[in-house]
Amino acid sequence: MTNKVQLGSSEVFANPIGLGTNAVGGHNLYPNLDEQVGKQLVKTAIESGIQLIDTALLYGPFRSEQLIGEVIKEMGCREQVVLATKIGPKFVDEKMLIDNSADFLRSEVDAALQRLQTDYIDLMYLHYPDEVTPKDEAIGVLKELKDAGKIRAIGVSNFSPDQLKEANKDGYVDVFQGQYNLLERGAEQAYLPYTREHNISFIPYFPLASGILAGKYNKEYVFHDLRANMPHFQGEAFVANLEKVEQVRKIADAKGEEVAHVVLAWYLAQDGIDFIIPGAKRADQVQSNLKTLDVRLTAEEIQAISSIFQ
Ligand code: NAP
């Protein structure tokens, strides 16, 4: 078992390899998901030592949280798990709106506790900024809920750099979750200097660029889910990305490691990236991604991978 890492300045610690669960009951994101396969992969993750389980109201919607709540109840393992979820979205006439108002956040934390069948959430995020609520006020509501023992750490996701600064005016933000991977490196300039300086854990989402960086696709592969519309999966960009992945494969092969693990290890080697939450669709991917902890990259390898994606 690995050393645990601290979530920002909170009292929450976890294995740096977590699990992203938007494919666990995330029927609105991926077609034909089997809920039993989803529950099994969460169970495997917990049995294998993964602690940080990342979900959101939005995945399903609601279903990912419910399934994770069921697994934890069935396993009787609440204290082994570091549960992270996200609130803010609401559905009005089947349209999604974002509401970070005080009343809504208070009632949504209670609703999330029910869906997850627990009496505390380890890390609660605002999933997106809304247009009207001052960011520090919204975080102030989460701080109240933290003081009341309903949540243990505070996060924000998808906030612009300025919105993050406003949210963290009183220093209450422990975690920022934003898109960052070898194909999308803007966060290195836009967020990491600030998060490092303020002891905020940066947790990248899409670490495998939705699977492309796992090194298993070729240019003939046809996607039938939301990836069919993602820029990195289109035409020439897709081919160029696959070529870069092949260069990483040379480094991985020379070490006797898999591309996915080398890529995931590269993130953890970056100053300020404390956790990763690769998503998985099957239990074997969960177990595979845990092998990242055994990968040791040299400074030359870190630099070489960085240069491939410059
Ligand atoms: P990701 O981690 O970049 O990619 C995950 C996909 O890669 C899996 O679904 C699987 O897809 C493939 N994969 C995973 N492990 C693999 C392995 N060992 N070998 C080969 N392929 C492997 O993308 P993501 O799951 O979309 O994002 C990660 C997590 O971040 C999500 O689950 C969610 O919790 C969070 N997230 C948050 C936000 C936000 O707004 N805060 C947005 C997006 C995601 P296939 O098997 O289909 O290839």
Task: For residue range 189-248, list pLDDT tens digits in order.
Answer: 999 999 999 999 999 999 999 899 999 999 899 888 888 899 999 999 999 999 999 999
Question: Residue 157: which of 225, 206, 92, 199 has the closest Cα?
Answer: 206
Arithmetic mean of pLDDT over the chain: 96
CA of 103 to the centre of ligand 1 (A): 32
CA of 212 to the centre of ligand 1 (A): 10
Task: For residue range 159-198, list pLDDT tens digits in order.
Answer: 999 999 999 999 999 999 999 999 999 999 999 999 999 9
Residue 87 CA, distance from chain mean position:
14
Residues 265 and 198: their CA atoms lie apart, in Å, by 24
Domains plus CATH for the chain?
5-213+271-297 (3.20.20.100)
CA 181 to ligand 1: nearest atom: 3
Burial 238-273 (b: 16+ CB within 10 A, else e): beebeebbeebeebbeeeebbbbbbbbbbbbbbebb
Task: Report residue 301: phi and psi, to 5°.
Answer: -65, -40
Residues 153 and 9: their CA atoms lie apart, in Å, by 9
Q: Is any ligand 1 atom within 6 A of the Cβ of residue 280? A: yes
- Structure tokens of 229? 């519309």
Task: Find the radius of gyration of the CA atoms of the chain.
Answer: 19
Q: Whose CA is nearest to atom 48 of ligand 1?
A: 211
pTM of full prediction above 0.85: yes
CA 289 to ligand 1: nearest atom: 18
Mutation pick for ligand 1 pocket among 205, 275, 290 (CB with most ligand atoms within 8 Å): 205
Task: For residue range 89-146, list pLDDT tens digits in order.
Answer: 999 998 999 999 999 999 999 999 999 999 999 999 999 999 999 999 999 999 999 9
